[in-house]
Every structure is written in C-alpha cells, then in structure tokens.
Amino acid sequence: MSNPFFKNQGPLKISKIVETLNLKINSYKDKKIYDIKDLVSSTNNDITFLHSKKYNNAAKKTKASVCITTEVLKTALPEKCLALIVENVLVSTSKITSIFYPDSINDNYDETAKDIKDTDFKNKVSFGKNVLIGNNVSIGNNCKIGHNTLIERNVVLGDNCSIGSNNIIRNTLVKNNVRILDNCVIGKHGFGFFPTKKTNLRYPHIGIVLIEDNCEIGCGATIDRGSMSNTIIGKNTYLDNQIHIAHNVKIGENTIIAGQVGVAGSSIIGDNVKIGGQAGISGHLKIGNNVEIAGGSGVIKDIPDNTKVMGYPAKNIRDFLRDNR
C-alpha cells in the first residue's frame, strides 16, 4: 500500500497496542511496531490482521510480527507471529490503524487552506477568485483552477490540468492533461464504518484517489478515497455529470461512464468499458474489459470481458430484451 499523504505516527510499542485493545500479554511488550499493513505486504516491523479463513494462505506466509485475529483463525499464522485475540477483528484493526494514522478518520474542513494569492502558486497557476490551497500541495505547469475551488491538503496536480469552479479536492494525485469540471468533491473518506447502537465507529481511510492522464470528470462527481488501497480512475477515462465512485474502486483506461452512474466500494472495472446513464454497480465486483452496461442496469455479479448486459439484475442484453418484449 503506497501511502504518500497520511502521516504515520508510529512506531508504537506493542504494549501500547495491546492496551488500546484492552488485552493483556506478557512478552514482547517493548518491541516497536512501525506500520499496519495487509498480510502480504507486512514486514517483520509491522502489525497485520486476519479476519477470514479466505486469507489463510496469505496468513501462512506473512512476515508480520503481530496479527490481530481470533482464537479460531490464529492457527493459520506462522509460529513467530504474535496473535492478538479479539472479538471483532475489523473493529480492532480500525482502532489500531487510527492510532497510526489519526488524520485519516474524519474529514473536517482543512484549516491549513489559505488564499492562493498568499502562496507561491500565484505566479505559476491561472486561478479564479477565492481559490484556496492547503498544505502539502504541488501543482504542475500550465494549470487552471476555477473560482471558489478548494485544493485542500495532500494534492498533486500534474501539467496542463483544468480544474473548474466550486470543487473540493483533497488526498488526490492527479496526473497530466486532466479536466475536472465543476462542483465535485474528490478525495474525501468513503462510507465505511462499523455500525454500533449509539454512535457508529468510523474506520480510517488511508488510501488516496489517483486520476490518470487525460481523464475528464463531470460536474457534481463524488470520488471517495480508498480505505486500505487507492481509488483509481484510469487513463483517458471520461465521467459524465453526477457520478458517484465509492472507496477502493478501480476503473481502467478509455472507459466511458454516463450521467448519474454509481459504483459501490471496491469494485474493479476494466478498460474500454461503456456504462449507460443511471446504471449501478454493486460492491466488490469485477467488470471485465470491453464490457457494455446499458443505462439503468443494476449489476450484482461479475461480468466477463466483451459482454453486453442490461437489466436489474443485469444479464446478457439479448436475453433481457427477449424476456422484456
């Protein structure tokens, strides 16, 4: 997991971690843990988590020193990995991630933002009225930023980007020749939390939004940043107005998405895909390359390459039209 933007507050002693989880252990208390990562990318300086036997194979090979898991699942872990036994692995993982990355939980307005006229960008960028720039922003050559747009903390804009008016962008890496029209909110945290009775527990979103070269993002888009991975819009992909892209979604190259489409969390969409207006795509799906999804469709399962689908639930377009004469 690349993490260019959120500051890691580690290392933390294991004693601090177990205390946060209301656990007791007697050994390794003073060992320092530097980051929280998934099973595969962890090193022996990291803590990881295992919440489903689906990941047993990855668990067997993990290099992590510590793993948040359950009594039942812990048998899959290597002997040298210290298992921290909890009731709810994801809630506990969320708590520990929050200590490493406290900035990634809530998206309050950016208090570091200041008028672009009071920054060095004033000589480099073409900008409208009331443009604000937060900390840790970099902007390439020949960019335009429209009126009332907020470039909040943790944004990189490449060269030749045209950002319209009334946009809010944070935690986002924009490559070259990208056009973002008006009224978008890009890079806020996703709709991810653990429901609890009195006050839901938000989990951290330490991913970013990555918008590749030559993309166009229409008016009123919301593109949420990833939780543990990134949200990605591939090269030369065009989004029409009022589109919602949830956290961790990955969209390929040369894809065209019409107005009011919504893509739920963690779905992956291929290259050269065409999605008609108001179509919806459920979470955690894989949509292949060269797929065409008719407007208004509701996609609730994976779609192989080179397929045309329609309907709710979406099925082969010929079948749908035959069944709905």
Q: Which residues pair with 173 in a beta bridge?
A: 156, 210
Subset of residues 111 to 150 that bind a second copy, contact rule: CB under 8 A: 111, 113, 115, 126, 128-130, 132, 144-148, 150
Contact 290, 274 (CB under 8 A): no
Chain mean position to CA 290: 24
C-alpha to C-alpha distance for 37 and 229, rounded to whole angstroms: 10
Residue from the set 177, 229, 230, 248 that interacts with a second copy by CB under 8 A: 177
> Which of 62/183 has CB closer to a second copy?
183
Token digits of residue 62: 């993990």
**Site size with a second copy, rule: CB under 8 A:** 74
Residue from the set 188, 205, 225, 250 that interacts with a second copy by CB under 8 A: 188
Smallest distance from the beta carbon of 206 to a second copy, in angstroms? 18
C-alpha to C-alpha distance for 266 and 245, rounded to whole angstroms: 10
H/E run at residue 94: helix 89-100
By CB under 8 A, is residue 264 in contact with a second copy? yes
Subset of residues 74 to 93 that bind a second copy, contact rule: CB under 8 A: none
> Which of 12/299 has CB closer to a second copy?
299
Q: Which is it for strands 32-33 and 12-13: parallel, antiparallel or unpaired?
A: antiparallel
Is residue 247 flagged as an active site residue? yes
Residue from the set 183, 227, 230, 266 that interacts with a second copy by CB under 8 A: 183
Subset of residues 192 to 231 that bind a second copy, contact rule: CB under 8 A: 193, 195, 197-200, 214, 216, 218-220, 222, 224
H/E run at residue 309: strand 308-310
- The span of 3-11, 24-32, 79-87, 184-192 binding a second copy (CB under 8 A) equals 184-192
Sorted by sequence, the CB contacts under 8 Å of residue 185 that are 6+ apart come out as 167, 168, 169, 221, 222, 223
Which amino acid, one-letter code, is at 253?
E
Residue from the set 278, 289, 307, 316 that interacts with a second copy by CB under 8 A: 278
Q: Which residues are catalytic?
A: 247
